[in-house]
Structure 1
Amino acid sequence: MKSDFSPWRLCTAPMMDWTDRYCRAFHRTLSRRARLYTEMVTTGAVIHGPRDRLLGFDAMEHPVAVQLGGSNPADLAHAARIAEDFGYDEVNLNVGCPSDRVQDGRFGACLMREPAVVAACVAAMKAAVSVPVTVKCRIGVDDQDTEQALDALAEAVIAAGVDGLVVHARKAWLQGLSPKENRDVPPLDYPRVARLKRAHPTLPIAINGGIATIADARSHLAEVDGVMIGRAAYSDPAILLDVDPVLFDEAAPAADPFAAITAFEPILAGFLQDGTRLHAVTRHMLGLFNGRPGARAYRRHLSTFALQPEAGLATLRDAVEQVSRDSRSLDLAIPDRDRAQDAA
């Protein structure tokens, strides 16, 4: 096994309403090495809310990072200590979310305009915890010059002791674009992130935004230390089966999506025994068989029957039976499972 891999070599992005504990548990059955991130949770929720529900996770999820939203250094330090006590491997500060609600709370992407505030937040968290403290940001917002804006943020957080930076290689437009549009409309500028890495060779830097395959991830690793994949890993989770063999020279934990389902069944059974509804878990699994004959029937079966109160493991097994096992040869025919959305 190689020993020189960055901890951030391949990460799954924090995504609101998506990367909950059920999603992370499922993704962990597909890759032992990918670094998993929680949904963003605000400092107020961590400090005053139901911590077990918001921060609880299973030991199998390691390595796993919590993403915090906030701009008050004292509150972030308090929330970071709580997260560390829960056992998280990293605390990440959100400086990239463009939603109106986040702006109203003075955190997320609007903090790109206030690098000194971000630095104070990082310094406070660094003083409070022993785990790595990282920042996820954009290359700039609105009419900012991305050369100046990203350099200013990076230099400020480096001085504060940040352990790593994850850069979504797009601007965020806080006025005029919705959060959904901000994920696609602003053009990607991968070379800007590469220039940042060349300027700061000792700072671990991961790149995010529009990366759809593990082959794409591998090409970016020639320029930066890590890659963060978001929607592609969620909508086509089978690509995560390529992470360990392609990026870490290790065997995948499951030979194919069918084997991954079998490995996940005991974990799913534990969730069901604790009172979790099947749909809460299987909604994260709908894209597992994308590109295979029967994938549409699989999705339809889960979308229809997993909502029923009595739904259980048999429901999932019935859905999997809709998929042709003879289609395994597609894995060899189409590299990195970068296939059509639905061949069914």
Structure 2
Amino acid sequence: MSDGFFAKRQKVTHAQSLSIEDSKPWVEKYRPKKLEDVTAQDHAVTVLRKTLKSANLPHMLFYGPPGTGKTSTILALTKELYGPNLTKSRVLELNASDERGIAIVRDKIKSFARLTVSKPSASDLENYPCPPYKIIILDEADSMTSDAQSALRRTMENYSNVTRFCLICNYVTRIIDPLASRCSKFRFKPLDSSNAISRLKYVASQESLKFDDGVLEKVLDISQGDLRRAIMLLQSSSKLVKHLDPPLITSLAVDELAGTVPNELIDTLTTKIASMDFNDIMSCVASLERSGWSGAAVTNQLHEYYINNDQFATRFKNAVSWIIFDSDSKLTNGGNEHIQLANLAIRVANLYRKGM
């Protein structure tokens, strides 16, 4: 075959790899490849880098809120330990929320844990530590039953010479004490706004996004510190405005995708409530419902407005909390949205009328 054929085939293969990379969800595309790329978890990263030098890892327990980098950190660590060639054979990643029973511990986990590791090649040893043990990653380990966790404890003890475990969970209190005591604990704290914003700016610059001032802050505020959710919302927003001229991401586009009510509409409603005019309040509630905004979203944002606002007295906040709690409970149980929102607004207006 001619050299031209191979050159053409090489170009096609390269184009295919580029298209695969471009078609990835941004959460995967921008997942940290190295420990140093993990955002805002300095303590955990520092300790893990030191253990990486000795290549003698303990069993680990990563816990903290979702979207703070727990899974990304352990995956980055395994890549730095084994390199691309050995990672597939030496790392077993399971989602414990799907495979949570005792049978999966006795069969799949135990059979992988008891395997001895093969000797790495000279090139792998030259570039990576390649320690003589495997790693089993159990994501969402707090979903495992108590019996499964008890069985896992025995497996960890029996095969610790050839296997290390990394348990990942949101709620450390749901991990039984005998299991937690065998692990080195790493708490992943919620990302502070500066670190999260810088990461969102990096993603936006890589994707050549255009956005209004304050959009990234709004995305992060809606995501409540969950960077994974923030990146997904940013990607969805970019798709929504892709065919506009110019393709500018606005706060309204973000609100529509996230299902949150624009602050302007919440401000209008609270102003009507403060005016204590029954007809104005009913008209505003009807307008919100006709626009398709969720009653639960309006209730949550009213809660944020009244409870986090320093201009209201504690007595007023307490009374509003009970009203919002009652309305939210009825909405959750299937109550009529229009009736519940109108009831909430009128009852809060009555608090104003009483001078609370």
TM-score, structure 2 normalization: 0.35
- Greater helix share, 1 or 2? 2
Structure of higher CA gyration radius: 2
